[in-house]
Structure 1
Amino acid sequence: MSFLNYSSPYLSIVLDVLAKYLQVDISYILSALFVFMALSTTFRLSIFDTISSFFVSSIEIRMDDEVFNQVMYWISKQEFSQKASRTVAITQFRNLQWFSEAASMEEEDDGDPNEDFDTEWKKRRCRSKVNPILLTPAEGETWFWYKGRHLIRLRRFRVGRDAALPWERLTLMCFGRSNAILKELIEEAQQLYSARDGNKTVIYRPVQVGPESDWRRCGLLYPRKLESVIIPGDLKWDLLERLKQFLSQKTRLEYRQRGFPYRIGLMFFGPPGTGKTSLCFALAGELQLPIYLLSLGTSTMTDQSLVTLFNKLPKECIVLLEDVDAAGITTRRVSMAQPRDPDSPSAHAVDRAPSEKLGGITLSGLLNVIDGVSAPEGRILVMTSNHIENLDPALTRPGRIDYSIKLDYADRDIVREFFMAMYKPLDPQGEDLDHLKTLAERFADTIPNKQVTPAELQTYLLYYKDSPQLAVENAFSWPHLSFSSEDEGPRYG
């Protein structure tokens, strides 16, 4: 009673009046009421838990798994999300960006290509100022009907209350002992998410999630056509056929039966700008495989995090290690002893320090994740290097690298093909290409053989993308393009 007197003096006066006229000690009534409420709450919770254990199925979805992205995207597209009384309006998701790529790509196709630039650009700038919004139910419980006959309870809640890094979980519940309906819902979400990606190339990069490393989507790109990558002969088509053969079920079974590790390694090497990364992206687009992009020079990367990342790779993907010679851990190890043969290549090699680890990664750690005992199978490993002569032979030996492809400066055939690829009509049927072929031959005769890269060719031809005649006439000054404020056009020198 002292607590009541302190918290509410008016209530204590009422209780004193009731006790005086009814001759009843109100404290006993209140105590009995509190005991009854506690027992009632415990009983109701016990009944609910009993009913849930026998008649309710549930699936918990954690934020550190990609299925969280898929289900959240599915939820944002459902009608109940738009009609919910309590919603969250999202323009950017801090961690996983499960919708932003799709929204931006949908906007890219809205414009009219025949509209004049000023009008079309004004519309695009107005759209870019307003971020697309998706609505999802707020934290707490939301009930909705799935396929019109299954009542689903969605519970969205945070794990911890760190405002800088919201960490969420979802729980889906339905009546019944079987969770088949919930599995069907998740599969539908996966299919919708996959359909959103279409034939685009998904890019993943490593991120640090607490104490562990994990993969996160960082891009969704339109696939690059393999025809647009100009390299000598039929090399790219032969490589594509080899990869298709490797990915076939027949090859998978043969590797398993014969005891071969089911993986393949490719090395693309050559000067910068010769199309190494472009070839990798084009192959990924043709095979509809995701690319897992890994930088060995990251300061936070260690041997253990490298093992963790490789163990989390899906069975069918492309792992791209760009510029492995620049990472500092794959350089050629130099023996302290003098070479026996003074005329051997190693006798004239540049004197380098022994391989040092950068950011905690060692050469032995890299070799173990590539083809060690616990190395994952089914993936396509692609490494690029500007100076393959600097790489340790242990990294490029057969078994770790199955195919090494050199991409060099453009010869006459590549220059001619590049010119045709740039100016040939998108629909060449019925077009007279003889004049264009003549210009391509003149252009190839003008450009010095194997002195320019495909990237330089592309930069030059894009400047004259609407005038192949001017491209040929001004090609004598190749290869260095610069601009002068005193000249009306480009200046070469």
Structure 2
Amino acid sequence: MKTELFNGLVGDNPYFQAGFGLMGVGVGLTVLRQGLILGSTTLRRRLLVTLEVNNKDRAYEWFLTWLAHNANTAPQKRATSRWFRSHQLSVETAVEQRSNGSSSAIFRLVAGPGTHWLRYQGAWMQMKRERETRSMQLMSGNPWETITLTTLSRDRDLFPRLLAEARDLAMKSQQGKLVIRTAWGIEWRPFGQPRQKRPLHSVVLDTGVSEKIEQDVRAFLQRRQWYADRATLSVDLGIPYRRGYLLHGPPGSGKTSYIQALAGALSYDICLLNLSERGLADDKLIHLLSNAPERSFILIEDVDAAFNKRVQTSEDGYQSSVTFSGFLNALDGVASGEERIVFMTTNHIEKLDPALIRPGRVDLNVLVDDASPTQARTLFTRFYGGSDDIHPDVVHRLADQLEDIVAAEMGNGRRISMAALQGLFIRSGAVEAVESCRNLFVGKQV
């Protein structure tokens, strides 16, 4: 009866047959669909909360490191409050190049682009890692990436805890270690794995040299307010809060080793700047020097080779876009940054343009020379002193002999580097080192 009535109303209705009925059904379904979408969106906004982290923020690397740590930890050792598993992985390779020419590579598997699920302190979270391949960062050339975390609104307080835990994990991995950074485009990025800090006393310089540099750096760091006060008193009294150091001397005298040890002693990092890098221009150089990470030294090695005759050329003949005037402007020009410590090294100070090493660009100029008699003695006693294989009295007697040999050879115009002495001590016994050290002296014989 009801079916016949419906067929009568619909089938015999001329308006419905003309299409108005079907249009009404379509409109009704569209309204219902939009209502469901609006309802689900409203429900999602009320019940879910989303956190977005992009790869321009430091927390991005911290979070990926935290994920990799928990994903690579054995299940029986992993904390029960954390759970993560992914079938979409990406590899990150860190290469460490050592000064002796060798290198090592470390691979780390991290969550790749896609959707992942993790459980943190009893709450489930959805993680989406998205990579924008159609547009790149203008200066670095890297793709834009974003990580989006979504969880229930009631668990929004877990986000700060998770990020704090990721930060602490990253800081713990670098605690007691020295981080070396290099320039990637206009960004400073870690180069290789953090290195163990070298004790400052392990680098043996001549009497008073190490203390002179360290005291000057510490005094500069403690006078931040002094610089700020003179910047606010008057424009004429404004003194930029930056410091420049030049360590010059022959190869193997310990210039770079001392800078690394000093950075470790002050809990500073090192930003290694290569002026011969392809693609480096004046504007990028100014940006890098003005945006160095906090608590870091900027190290420019062999600056004499970089601007010999005011032209900067790499070993393969490539001429950099960095100009000498642009380099000077980056050091202390109008566009140069504040709160910066720059260390430069050179083997040939006589090749440097006077405009580069004038006061204001180089505030402290220190000679780090070949081994003096006192240095040779100190290095010898540190290598062989305290060993069970040789009596302390023998060590002191041999150290006296070595000191006399170095003094005599220096009187004849012959020199020996600290690097040569260290290499000799590494491969030789104490007696043999003293007997054979004369063969390592270089220079004219009077």
TM-score exceeds 0.5: yes
In the other structure, the counterpart of 2:170 is 193
The residue number in structure 2 matching 1:459 is 423
Residue matched to 2:306: 327
Q: TM-score by structure 2 length?
A: 0.76
Q: How far has the Cα of 1:68 moved from its partner?
A: 1.5
- Cα offset for 1:66? 3.3
- The CA deviation at 1:70 is 0.7
**Which residue of the partner structure matches residue 438 of structure 2?**
476
Q: Paired residue for 1:74, among 66, 71, 76?
A: 66
Aligned CA-pair RMSD: 3.9
Measured at CA, do residues 54 and 440 of structure 1 come closer, stay the same or move farther in structure 2, by a change above 3 Å?
Answer: same
Aligned runs of 1:309-324 on 2, under 5 Å?
A: 309-324=288-303
Letter in 1 for 2:187: D
Task: Please name the residue that 1:215 is paired with.
Answer: 188
Contact 1:324 1:330 in 2 (8 A): no
Kindly provide the amino acid, as one letter, of the partner of residue 229 in structure 2.
Q
Q: CA offsets per residue over residues 344-385 of structure 1, 9 Å max, x none?
A: xxxxxxxxxxxxx94111122112221223322222110011
- 3-state SS of paired residue (1:277): helix
Q: 1:434 aligns with which of 393, 400, 406?
A: 393
2 CA distance for matches of 1:329 and 1:42? Answer: 71
In 2, Cα distance between equivalents of 1:368 and 1:178: 51
Distance in 2 (alpha carbons) for counterparts of 1:33 and 1:398: 85
Shift in CA distance, 44/199, structure 1 to aligned 2, threshold 3 Å: farther
Q: Could you tell me whether the CA contact under 8 Å between 1:273 and 1:456 is conserved in 2?
A: yes
Whether the 8 Å contact between 1:443 and 1:472 is mirrored in structure 2 is yes
2:38 to 39, 46, 58: 46
Percent identity reads 29
Structure 1 residues 131-157: Cα deviation after superposition (integer angstroms, max 9, x where no partner) = 776564762142533x44x65442222
| 2:293 aligned partner, one-letter code | P
SS class of match (2:277): coil
- How many angstroms apart in 2 are the aligned matches of 1:422 and 1:410? 15
Distance 2:20 2:401 in 1: 107
Q: Quick one: which amino acid aligns to residue 324 of structure 1?
A: V
Q: Deviations over 1:307-348 (max 9, x none)?
A: 22223312321000111110136749xxxxxxxxxxxxxxxx
Corresponding letter in the other structure for 2:285: L
User: In the alignment, does 2:81 pair up with 1:86?
Assistant: no
> Residues 9-63 of structure 1, C-alpha deviation per residue, up to 9 Å, x if partnerless?
xxxxxxxxxxxxx9999x9999988877765554444344445556654332222
- The 1-side partners of 2:86 and 2:304 are apart by 53
Aligned position for 1:282: 261
Q: Do the aligned residues in 2 keep the contact of 1:439 with 1:472 (CA within 8 Å)?
A: yes
What is the match of residue 160 of structure 1?
Answer: 133
Q: Partners of 2:85 and 2:164 in 1: how far apart?
A: 27
User: Equivalents in 1 of 2:173, 2:213: separation in Å?
Assistant: 29
1:376 aligns with 2:337: yes
* Equivalent-residue separation in structure 1 for 2:159 and 2:330 (angstroms): 36
Tell me if the contact between 1:331 and 1:390 (Cα under 8 Å) persists in the aligned partners: no
Q: Tell me how far apart the structure 2 counterparts of residues 45 and 141 of structure 1 sit (CA, whole Å).
A: 24
Q: C-alpha distance in 1, partners of 2:431/2:23? A: 98
Which residue identity is paired with 1:154? M
8 Å Cα contact 1:81-1:137 kept in structure 2: no
How many aligned residue pairs are there?
392
Instruction: Answer yes or no: is the 8 Å Cα contact 2:65–2:110 preserved in 1.
Output: no
Output the amino acid matched with 2:86: R
Unaligned runs of 5+ in 2: 1-9, 71-77, 97-103, 136-140, 232-238, 312-317
Report the secondary structure of 1:273's partner residue: coil
Q: Distance in 2 between matches of 1:59 and 1:410?
A: 58
The question of whether the paired residues in 2 share the 8 Å contact of 1:231 and 1:407 is answered with yes
Question: 30-39 or 438-447, which moves further after superposition?
Answer: 30-39
Q: 1:184 to 1:372 in 2, by over 3 A?
A: farther
- Tell me what 2:117 maps to: 142
Q: How far apart are residue 201 of structure 1 and its match?
A: 0.5
1:254 to 204, 221, 226: 226
Q: Is the contact made by 1:329 and 1:362 (CA closer than 8 Å) also made in structure 2?
A: no
What amino acid sits opposite 2:188 in the alignment?
A: W
SS across alignment from 2:356: helix
1:240 corresponds to 2:239: no
Asked whether the 8 Å contact 1:328–1:358 carries over to 2, the reply is no
Which residues of 2 match residues 20-59 of structure 1 at below 5 A? 39=31, 42-51=34-43, 56-59=48-51
Give the Cα–Cα distance (whole angstroms) in 2 for the partners of residues 231 and 32 of structure 1: 92
Q: 1:157 is paired with a residue of what secondary structure?
A: strand
Inter-partner Cα distance in structure 2 for 1:367 and 1:161: 37
- Structure 1 residues 329 and 171: CA distance shift in structure 2, 3 A: farther
- CA distance, structure 2, for counterparts of residue 325 and residue 312 of structure 1: 24
Secondary structure of the structure 2 residue equivalent to 1:396: coil
2:62 and 2:170 in contact (8 A); partners too: yes
Unpaired stretches in structure 1, ≥5 consecutive residues: 1-21, 102-127, 333-356, 481-493
Q: Name the amino acid aligned to 1:323.
A: D
Query: For 2:392 and 2:25, how far apart are their aligned partners in 1?
Result: 95
Partners of 2:22 and 2:145 lie apart in 1 by 41
Shift of 1:302: 0.3
Counterpart AA for 1:160: T
Where in structure 2 are the equivalents of 1:85-164 lying within 5 Å? 86-89=86-89, 92-94=91-93, 97=94, 134=109, 136=111, 139-145=114-120, 147-148=121-122, 152-160=125-133
